[in-house]
Each structure stands twice: as C-alpha cells, then as structure tokens.
Amino acid sequence: MPFNIYDFSVTTKAVDEYFKAHMSPTWAFVMELLIVGLVFLIVYAIIGLYLVLAERKVCAIMQNRYGPNRVGKWGLVQTIADLIKLLMKELIPVRKSDKFLFNVAPYIVIIASFMAIAAIPFAKGLQGVDFNIGVFYMMAVSSIGVIGTLLAGWSSNSKYSLIGAMRSGAQVVSYELSVGLALLAVVIFSGSMQLSTIIESQANGWWIFKGHLPAIIAFVMFLIASTAEINRGPFDLAEAESELTAGFHTEYSGIKFAFFFLAEYMNMFIVASLAATVFLGGWMPLHIGSLESFNRIMDFVPPIFWFFGKTIFVIYLIMWFKWTFPRLRIDQLLTLEWKYLLPINLLNILLIAFLVLMGWYFK
Amino acid sequence: MNPVAQYFSDIFHAVGSLWKGLRVTGYYFVHPRQIVTQKYPENRKHLEMFDRFKGELILVHDENNQHRCNGCGICQINCPNGSIEIITDSVTNEDGKPERIIDKHIYHLSMCTFCGLCVKNCPSTALAFSQQFEHAVYDRSKLTKVLNQPGSSIRKEPKTPKVHAEPMSKSNPDN
C-alpha cells in the first residue's frame, strides 16, 4: 500500500494499546469513547463556526463587499465572538408553546448532524465508525434532522414557524429520493455501501472521472438535491426571510437558535464531505490510472488535506449556488424534483446499471 | 414543439441561464478589486464624498465672507419639520430705505431629515448641502447651529434678468 506513511490507524492503535496496558478493558473503552467524543465535539464546533465565517466572506466578495473584517485579523474571530454573544443571550420562553418539544427540537437537529459526522472518513484510518452500510447510514441519519425541524415549527405555536416547518418537511421528503438515487449511482459502480471500500475503489481514479457522463450527472443531481435537503438557498423555503421572518426557528433565541444555525452549517459540511467521498475520492489522492510516478508524487500530500480540499471545493460550489440563484417558489420546487430530477435520476440509474453490466466504464 | 423536445429545451435553457448568473458571481469572486465598499475609519484621511451627498445644511459663504441670503424665510416655510428658524433684522440702505437683512439663520440638525426642500426652494440659491457627515456630538445643544458666519453680509447681485443658476453647492463645502 502506498499510503502507509499517512495511515492514521497506527496512531489510534498506539493509543488503544496504551490504554489497554494501563487500565482494565472496560475503562480503556470508556476512555476511548470520551476522547473520540471530545475530539468530535471540538471539530464540530470549529468547523461549524468557520463555515459561518466562510459563508459570510464568500457572499461578501461575490456581492463586492469586504465581509467581516473587524474582529481579529480578517475577521477570523468574528463568529467566535458571535457565539459568545449568543451564549449570553436570554432564552425567551414562548407562552402557549409545547414546552417539552420546543426545548427538545434543537437537540434533535444537532444530534442528527452529530451522528452523521461519525461515519465520515476524514483520512485513512481516521473515521469514527466504518459501517458496512455507510452510505445508507448517512442517508438515514441526515434525514432525522427534519423531525427536529418539524417539531420546532409545530411546538412554537406560531404561524411562521409552522408554515416554514411544513415546507421544510415537504421539501426534505421529496428531495431525499434524489439524494438516495444519486448516491446509488456510485454504489452500483463500486459494488459496496461501505465508505472505506468506496474510497479504496477510487485508488486508480475518482468515480466522477471513471464513471464519465452518468457519474457527472449523478454528481450534479446530488449537489442540487442535497442543497435542497439541507434547506439552503436557492431552496431555503423553510426560513424564507422575506415571507416567514425566520421560518421554523422564528421563536428561538440564544443558544437554541445557535444550535439550529450550527446544525445547518454542519449539514452543509456533511453533504459536501459525502459528495467528496463518494464522487471525488474522499481522502484518496488524485491518481490517474497507471501513471506510477505521478501517483507517487500525489501520495506525498497527506490524505487529510485531500479530504478537506475536496470538501471545501464542494462547499464553495454550494455557496456559489446560494449567492447566485433566486429562490424557488414551493410549487416550482416540487415541480423541479418530481418532474425533472427524479425521472432523470431514474434513467441515469438504469444507464449506470447497463454500463456496469457491460463493463463500459474505466475500471 | 412537441412536449418531449420542450422538456429537454427547458432543461438546457435553465442550465444556460443559471450558468450566466454563476459567471457573474464567479467573476466577482476571483476579482476582489471590484469591491466597492470602503473601510471607513481607516480611509478617513483621503475619503472623498460625492457632490450629491447631503451632509448638513450650510449657507454658502464666499471668500469675502459674503452670502446670498436676504432673509426671505422661504426655507423656514418649506421645512417640513421646522428645523430652520429665520431671525431677520432691519437696516437702512444707501437709498435711505429700510431693508431686511438676515440676523440669524438657525438650523436644528437634530430635527433635519435631509429632504432638501430648503435648498431646492431657496430663491437666491444661498443654501447648499456640505459633505460633512460626522454629526455625533456629546451635547444636544451643539446640534443647533447658526449658519450665517459672524460679520458676514449679503452679496448684492447686479440687477440682471433672473436666470436659474446652478446651485453653489461645490463652492465652499467646509463650514
């Protein structure tokens, strides 16, 4: 294997052996869980906060503005200051709201995105859990979030929230289909749902290149459908500012609002990293067929940089869409899904199945 | 066009027009020099305001400390929120007749909405807006200003048929 120098499982094994040597297996297990949990919490917070900053910067430059530039160098500490502000704000209870559901909704949203990042392969051997149904797991977990959205809208006892939540429900339920079908394209190509196996299968070229036209169509479909699934512009009907003030989180304040906000950006990261993993090879360096020397040079860049580079590229694409396209109406949104994306996706799957059957793709 | 062809041409048109939009924003993204907003306190030294900017009301004085206000009070009548008060005085001119001159042209900046009706309606184009925009003060009374400078006098125009002259907005911006 050419990537042994950057194999992270060496480190994890060493940590595991250290704990096993110094304490009972049960305590070692608990300690490892604690460490993994802590690392994921910190990574989650940092990525979420810096995605907010990145979004503000990207949108500003696209609109010929500077964006945040006062707090810290180039405004780098801006979102941390915002978070501190949100932490100190009052949590306003809403009269006649369903108290229990109102309080539990932000946690459901944030737990759903937290569960999803557990299965993301950040680098070789750097993955929380490597399920053998990784793609399916990601799909299943990321759609739990919409329950939180619906609960938030329902329990707020506000018309804006309810309309936003119902829109969000309709949107996520219908676009889930397209996301699944687009991911199925690569599952057919690689013959596995396990994310690590999908990445290994891209060692001689990424699926977007190896699967040529159908894979590119599937990638574009995935981008569109997943943008809709994470409720981002141009599909941000759930929180259409001009019509619904803030949609499902209108009544939330302080840290509960911050949870929704952070989960929204983390969902964007999850979707982008899934696209990078499945279509663009995840942490796998850029390899071209049997060009040995070229592949060797590419191997020197650590996998974690490849992973984050690709993810940032996909995130930039999603942001570019958001700050360019006008928002769709709810009927246009559903027309796009049921009349365009879904039929094209189904045909695409059929085409891919045929190609794989005939072996007409780069192996 | 048959429906199937219509369906596909719809898709291609949509992609084409979306790409057009993406090119505009993408161009701005890779050209940060196109940024039009300015970093204000840093560029304060060489900040240039625009001629049409309505900063605060001034009575234009020329280099001889002369203005064109004859105290007619039309600006006071036109002001929607009463931010202008005209106090006039009477002097005897060289013909031995009493003549109205301006004593105090009082301007309440705190009440002004910068609608510009006073400047537009001034028959002798004596008023203008300066480009001064840093109005913050610690005492509210400082927002009440006397626009005619001490010792200033009215500039007598030679009797000519009245033409609509350009407002003297550029001549003396610093008050």
pLDDT tens digit sequence for A96-136: 888 888 888 888 888 888 888 888 888 877 777 888 888 88
Q: In angstroms, rounded to a whole number, what is the distance separating the alpha carbons of residues A141 and A143?
A: 5
If contacts are CB pairs under 8 Å, which of residues 27-56 in chain B contact chain A? 28-29, 32, 34-37, 39
pLDDT tens digit sequence for A158-207: 888 888 888 888 888 888 888 988 888 888 888 888 888 888 888 777 88
Q: What is the ipTM of this complex?
A: 0.75
Q: Determine, for residues A320 and B24 on separate chains, whether the beta-carbon distance falls below 8 Å.
A: no
User: Which chain A residue lies closest to B21 (C-alpha atoms)?
Assistant: A324
Entry pTM: 0.80
The whole-number average pLDDT for the span A300-323 is 88
pLDDT tens digit sequence for A51-80: 889 999 888 888 888 888 888 888 888 888
* pLDDT higher than 60, residue B166: no
Q: Tokens representing A52? A: 């907010």
Q: In angstroms, rounded to a whole number, what is the distance separating the alpha carbons of residues A334 and B69?
A: 66
Q: pLDDT-based confidence at B173, cuts 50/70/90?
A: very low
What does B94-146 look like in DSSP terms, one character per residue?
TTS-EEEEEEEEEEEGGG-----HHHHH-TT--EEE-S------SSGGGGEEE
Closest CA to A91 of A81, A74, A82, A103: A103
Q: In angstroms, rounded to a whole number, what is the distance separating the alpha carbons of residues A217 and A213?
A: 6
The whole-number average pLDDT for the span A29-45 is 87
Beta strands at B153-154 and B144-146: parallel, antiparallel or unpaired: unpaired
The chain-wide mean pLDDT, for chain A, equals 84
The whole-number average pLDDT for the span B154-167 is 62
What does A232-295 look like in DSSP terms, one character per residue?
-TTS-GGG-HHHHTTGGGTT--HHHHHHHHHHHHHHHHHHHHHHHHHHS-TT-----TT-HHHH
* pLDDT higher than 80, residue B88: yes
Q: Determine, for residues B37 and A66 on separate chains, whether the beta-carbon distance falls below 8 Å.
A: yes
Which of A42 and A5 is assigned the larger pLDDT?
A: A42
* pLDDT higher than 90, residue B138: yes
Report yes or no: A317 at the B interface, CB cutoff 8 Å: no
Which of A270 and A98 is assigned the larger pLDDT?
A: A270
Number of neighbours of residue B108 by Cβ within 10 angstroms: 17
pLDDT attached to residue B161: 57
* pLDDT higher than 80, residue A36: yes
Output phi, psi for B87, to 5 deg: -115, 120
pLDDT tens digit sequence for B10-42: 888 988 998 998 998 889 888 888 888 888 888
Choose the weakest-confidence range: A238-242, A285-289, B72-76, B132-136.
Answer: A238-242
Pick among A58, A59, A66, A339 to test the B interface (most B CBs inside 10 A):
A66
Q: In angstroms, rounded to a whole number, what is the distance separating the alpha carbons of residues B49 and B42?
A: 15
* pLDDT higher than 90, residue A289: no
